[in-house]
């Protein structure tokens, strides 16, 4: 069997792919938009020395079914919950990259009792700003542009230009390679439609329109690590620093060699941070009663005063 073995499960009538490796305490890796579970392989194999690693293809991504349906953060979180339930995994450490970070945060909000630790890697949902390319993808008619950009000849040209620029020492080469890597899975029409539905659920022309910042206080004291690539031009590193300031007791780390895809650009560095984070923290625990205790100090109750109508 392959080290990072691929499995298929049918959930609610739809095909979902996941990859798994290793044995030990479970770690769940959630990819970002236009990525898939296979992009976690180098990190997964390093973590698999001491852990059971599970990396699903989100619905509409990778080799999972691209269906006409709900591509919200909550729907992805519920799908992951169901997959883990089928696997018999009650609690795990969750790692989310980019859009996957938003999914992990949503999973925590919906199913906190199933989460032991959270690691957010160049995460979405922590601020408004995002790259112009992603904002443009929210515009009507972008599907045609996406189809042209995902053409094999265009992808080869982008990769070639990125390689040449990196050889000359230009940091823009990393960015071109990242664009080519992001576009590659979108050669099929169904994948492009799923990508656009997913993106438009969280991003519009003005930037990220879904934010987790108003509930980050719930993670205070909970084992949380935030990791960013120093050269990230897709989501500003300041988002990570701001989230770290809000989440009391959190860790914040940067990877100098990485841009927006640390799991691909510096898998050794990211894996070392994750392994240390897991080894040096105790699993968090939140049940329904504790959840209420976390929220209550931030809730204000007051009697509502009804305005009298002009006719009264």
* Active-site residue list: 98, 232, 260
The CA dihedral of 222, 227, 232, 236, to the nearest 10 degrees, is 30
CA distance 51 to 47: 6
Q: d(Cα 70, Cα 167) in Å, to the nearest integer?
A: 42
Which 3-state string (H, E, C) describes 20-73? EECCCCEEEEECCCCCCHHHHHHHHHHHCCCCEEEEECCCCCCCCCCCCCCCCH
**Dmax (CA) of the chain:** 78
Beta bridge partners of 187: none
Distance CA 249, CA 265 (A): 27
The C-alpha angle with vertex 22 and arms to 16 and 27, in degrees rounded to 5, equals 65
Beta strand pairing status for 251-255 and 5-11?
unpaired
User: How would you write 269-309 as a 3-class SS string?
Assistant: HHHHHHHHHHHCCCCCCCCHHHHHHHHHHHCCCCCCCCCCC
Check: CB of residue 227 under 8 Å from CB of residue 119: yes
| CA 202 to chain centroid | 12
């Amino acid at each position: 069997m392959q080290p990072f073995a691929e499995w298929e499960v049918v959930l609610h009538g739809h095909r979902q792919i996941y990859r798994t490796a290793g044995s030990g305490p479970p770690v769940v890796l959630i990819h970002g938009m236009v990525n898939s579970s296979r992009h976690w392989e180098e990190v997964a194999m390093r973590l698999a020395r001491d852990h059971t690693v599970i990396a699903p293809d989100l619905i509409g991504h990778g080799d999972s079914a691209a269906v006409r349906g709900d591509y919200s953060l909550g729907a992805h979180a519920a799908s992951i919950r169901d997959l883990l339930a089928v696997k018999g995994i009650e609690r795990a450490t969750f790692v989310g990259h980019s859009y996957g970070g938003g999914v992990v945060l949503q999973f925590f909000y919906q199913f906190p009792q199933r989460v032991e630790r959270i690691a957010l890697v160049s995460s979405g949902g922590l601020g408004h700003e995002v790259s112009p390319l992603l904002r443009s993808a929210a515009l009507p008619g972008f599907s045609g542009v996406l189809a042209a950009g995902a053409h094999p000849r265009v992808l080869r040209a982008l990769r070639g230009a990125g390689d040449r620029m990196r050889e000359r020492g230009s940091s823009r080469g990393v960015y071109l390679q990242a664009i080519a890597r992001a576009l590659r899975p979108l050669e099929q029409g169904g994948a492009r439609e799923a990508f656009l539905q997913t993106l438009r659920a969280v991003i519009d022309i003005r930037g990220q329109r879904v934010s987790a910042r108003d509930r980050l206080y719930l993670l205070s004291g909970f084992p949380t690590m935030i990791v960013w690539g120093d050269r990230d031009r897709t989501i500003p590193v300041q988002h990570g620093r701001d989230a770290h300031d809000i989440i009391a007791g959190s860790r914040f780390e940067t990877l100098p060699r990485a841009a927006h895809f640390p799991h691909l650009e510096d898998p050794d560095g990211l894996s070392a941070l994750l392994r240390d984070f897991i080894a040096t923290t105790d699993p968090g625990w939140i049940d329904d009663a504790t959840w209420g205790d976390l929220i209550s100090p931030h809730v204000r109750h007051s009697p509502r005063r009804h305005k009298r109508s002009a006719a009264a």
